[in-house]
Amino acid sequence: MPDNIEIIKEGRYYHIYNRGINSCNLFNEEGDYLHFLTLYEKFIDPVAITYAWVLMPNHFHCLVYIKEGLVYKYTMEDIARFTTDDKLEINKWETIPFQPKPKPKLKPKPKPDSVNDLSALKEKEKEKEKEKYLLEHKVPDPTKHFSHLFNSYSKYYNAKYIRHGTLFERRFKRKVINSEDYLKRCIIYIHNNPSHHKFVSHPLEYSWSSYFDYLSEENETMKECVEKLFGDIANFKYCHKHSNNDFEWE
């Protein structure tokens, strides 16, 4: 993996962006934008909290926080037990906070002959429990979730527009956000991206971004973000209006 490609780890903020191969369009009409957002909710929401996003005709940006301590809600063993007779809809991407299983009662073991034997027996039992847990639980890989998003959308787009081959650039870009100031500037940059590329003169004029979510104050995550980084919505608007929108990786 190239040095400039960040490894996505839990508990961190990332600016993630990608574009169409050879700068081709990713979105041609409203239905394309809506379908991408539906897939984003399916694949990304279980593993990340999104603080900002924008969909441009040939690229997109999002700012996410990778959730910590998640495991898939259903193990492969659980899924194998379900049949169509159960009439249950299983979402294999659904995740839940990590909760260690209570230690099962062990069957009586032959009494060890020495202290060393007892210590070795305990270590062996711990290893068996660890192996059993790893077999029963699968920890989400955020990178794969983004890959699933891109692959699913590519299949939709190729089928709709009768094309084949790669739609996105092979490696999506990601940049770790390591300070509150950087986080704040990244949010502003993402919302101002449409005006930066001369599509509109103000974020309010562009429909496909999270700028409206911040103004509505209905999203608790974004409401808390405004209070923490901007103080209030008035300063949020002021910072967006007076930003030079110049980021080092652009």
- How is the chain split into domains, by residue range? 13-69+141-241, 100-138
pLDDT for residue 248: 47
Residue with tokens 């608790």: 220
Q: What is the pLDDT of residue 80?
A: 55
Q: Which residue is listed with tokens 């999203």?
A: 219
Tens of pLDDT along 194-204? 999 999 999 99
Say what the pLDDT of residue 186 is.
95
30 CB-side CA count, 13 A: 2
Beta bridge partners of 173: 17
Instruction: Quick: pLDDT tens for 114-165.
Output: 556 777 788 888 777 766 665 566 778 899 999 999 999 999 999 999 999 9
The fold adopted by the segment(s) 13-69+141-241 is Alpha-Beta Plaits (3.30.70)
15 three-state secondary structure: strand
User: What's the pLDDT at 14?
Assistant: 96
pTM: 0.74
* CB-based burial label for 247 (10 Å; 0-12, 13-18, 19+): middle
Predicted local distance difference test score (pLDDT) of residue 86: 44
The predicted pLDDT at position 89 comes to 45
Phi, psi of 226 (to 5 degrees): -60, -45
Q: How far apart are CA 75 and CA 133, in angstroms?
A: 10
Q: Which helix (H) or strand (E) holds 71?
A: strand 70-72
What confidence score (pLDDT) does residue 250 get? 43
Kindly give the parts of the chain with pLDDT less than 70. 1-4, 73-116, 130-137, 245-250
**What pLDDT, on a 0 to 100 scale, did the predictor assign at position 242?**
86
Closest alpha carbon to 67 in 139, 136, 175: 139
